[in-house]
Chain A
Amino acid sequence: MSKKKLTFSLNYRKPKSQYKDSDELMICIRYYHKCSNTDKTKIIKKSTGVKCMLKDWNTDWHKSNDRAPVKSTDPNAKKKNKILKEKVKSFDIDELYSSVKNDSFSPYLNSKIPFGDIEKKWTNHKNTIDLVSPANKRNIDIIVVGTGLAGGSAAATLAELGYNVKAFCFQDSPRRAHSIAAQGGINAAKNYQGDGDSVYRLFYDTVKGGDYRSREENVYRLAEVSANIIDQCVAQGVPFARDYGGLLDNRSFGGVLVSRTFYAKGQTGQQLLLGAYSAMNRQIARGKIKMYNRHEMLDIVKVDGKARGIITRNLVNGEIERHSAHAVVLASGGYGNVFYLSTNAMGSNVTAAWKAHKRGAFFANPCFTQIHPTCIPVSGDHQSKLTLMSESLRNDGRIWVPKKSEDAKNVRSGKLKPTEIAENDRDYFLERRYPAFGNLVPRDVASRAAKERCDAGFGVNKTGEAVYLDFASSIIRYGKEQALVNGQDENNVELVQKLGKEIIKKKYGNLFQMYEKIVDQNPYETPMMIYPAVHYTMGGIWVDYNLMTTVPGLYAIGEANFSDHGANRLGASALMQGLADGYFVLPYTIGDYLSKEISTGPIPNDTEEFIKAEKEAKEKINLFINNKGSKRVDYFHKKLGKIMWNKCGMARNKKDLESAIKEISALRKDFWKNVKVPGSQDEFNEELAKAGRVADFLELGELFAKDALDREESCGGHFREEHQTKEGEATRKKEFQFVSAWEYVGEPKNAILHKEELKYKNIEVKERSYK
């Protein structure tokens, strides 16, 4: 499967030609780890501290018999060669590679998958994992950053178990985290509808929906605990929708063949978040959670390689604070706002995750972003954020653009109304391209198809970036049905229209109202206009089976990690993952690490590491305040968003990605030179908070583009124009069936790639087709 190779080399720091013969250079010992199926090599570098002059270096050391890299011209050659050989011997190669053997390419990525059949892995793991006794839990502190579904549920559960939790959120209350905006529902393999749903089926749908880029074992566990989530939430008083028998109701969502989505009207996220928040309230009242509202995390503090605390800024008075703990949990959500315009909240940011990345946590699959097909289009330059219209609308709405480009032109200029375009002159492009799934193809497919039509010049709003979502035929269909039921004349057009509209109103009334408020058009009379928008990021911090990042003691849960959705997320799965991680996974797995910390004692927050991190954070803030530049933070954010959307958006190509990396890098330089932050550091200062967030987006954006460039295939939300079929469908590549985990080494574009191989033992990898 893989080969190991040892090499010696000199550590050049500038072009070879610039060195003199008498210059001394460090000798590096490198282990190459070559993978047979991708033919790519991975380096495990070990620098030794032995130096030699350039003239004494034996370039052909591997050809000589003794394989000695230092020539005998060096007076100490013998000694130096001996040291090097001893170093080589001292490496425990077997140990280094033992972690590689199982699941990953890179020795740094040990996913710690338990042994056994997939159905038993989680149970076995729970049974054998180390636990912390109740008496010891009282002495252990845990920091949770973010209070959405994942963070809120984790904080509450950890506190229930007896740990001392400190929870942080930048909002004024945990209840305002952006999980609250999720509309549709939450999946769970309950099979209450008796339609053949099972843990396996949910697992299968999620892996397939993710285009085979998620970790099988994590997804299986997710499906396994999904049923518990519903039980837990109902016991907490979450008012899910019920039928007249008093039992829970389900609806179906895109990409699956069963009804497994539990919902609370169009506000499922809100109800679940309030449930988690109520569980937190109980622990806050008991004093087990100490809540820090309006606090922004600025940095992670590592002590002896382990995550031991965070630096925060109190957003009300600007105070920089040091907080220590035995473990740190990041539940800070996704980074969709790197696009400036997205359906994320204004405050959603990558800072916590990015700071963790800079402190050693690998960032996985940053280019996997979900673009949701049904959002309200951008209305102008002033737009600050995009609004999502629930996926459920595609059940009854038909998506189309005009067939003739002159019609499209006239619609754009306002000369023609959509209702005046004849049925034959309409192009229902999803129904045309995907007859089997029609308007209900998964999100990535629908978004790309809409973009393709708009790019071809058939867009229907002023900017040419919108398609129609039309309910007219559903209104007639429902109206006729209802007329028949009522025993009325089904050919009476007016009556049918009226009855049909009533039915549509019952189903989607609140969404239609929302649309009308924003766009000022009546969607019952004229088709809605929609366009895809950035919605969710599948990528995130790399975590192992225990949800621990590559930094010991640092965990990532919810949207902040990468593990469960692969390259595309199915509807109603984000809520499921957030709560699964927070309620049922992390509280168990964190014990494995903390059981080794019981004798550590309280972590002081005034050690060198904390003070240094605090100083760095303060310096950065002072830099912003004293910069006195000429351009507002939003200027840079908008500009970054434009680059991201145009070059790393729904369709990407090599040329654009390469130029995106350059442009972002240049924009970042400009930002640090010319950014203008008004006010001072010791007050409520939103511009200052924004500046810090945008600074991190400017780095993440570059890594994003690099990851997209590196992934020479199309899969899920990642579409490379070079890799498509004649019909414009995505072409996946077997050799890219891995997780790209990036290690930070300075400039994001120089990040080092580590690969975790993805193996599917319980599922057959097939081509995704919706034709």
Chain B
Amino acid sequence: MKNFITTSIGKKFAMALSAIFLMVFLLQHFLINITSVFSADIFNFLSHFMGTNPLVQFILQPILIAGVIFHFVMGFYLEFQNRKATKYEYHKVRGGANSTWMSRNMIWSGLVILSFLILHFIDFWFPEMNHKYVEFLPEDPNRYYDELVEKFESPVRVLFYCVSFVLLSLHLLHGFSSSLKSMGTNKTYVSTVKNLSNFYAIGIPAGFCFIAVFHLLSHL
């Protein structure tokens, strides 16, 4: 057991585990955000719950942040190791003949997602933290919806969000099934996993894009 995490498979397993955790988070994030399309009240209610519940704030949130950091750090570390293992470059490689673009470029899609995350944190998370724990501003259970709408008034930001979501989709198109493979999914589930993976990887980012564009258009 104690050596498991240091093996290549152990690292891959940990990477997959963090990925699955992040995908669950993403799903829940999406489910909450999509309510903003239907009803500002539900969205405010859910946001307020998430933003004030101590379990979410002081236990789940740090775990999530740790998970995000772990996933990125591990991703870079593994990429570094892999580059070391390859050492020499071929003069001619036809990667497209045997694998998808997504699978070969996880590091690049990952980097775009990272830059998106930074922007996203600047947009929402830092003000939120500032609001609650720095300036100790009074609670306002109805402020969330307006904050959201305000951010999506800029078409540039929406465009950047959408581009990032496309990259996220590409990242997920490989990442979803890959993480399950790393965890050792049995071959009997291969096609199920693939369908689920495509559904999730296209559906969720598309949904996020839809939310952004919806608010942009509906508040022109």
- Do A and B interact directly, with beta carbons closer than 8 Å? no
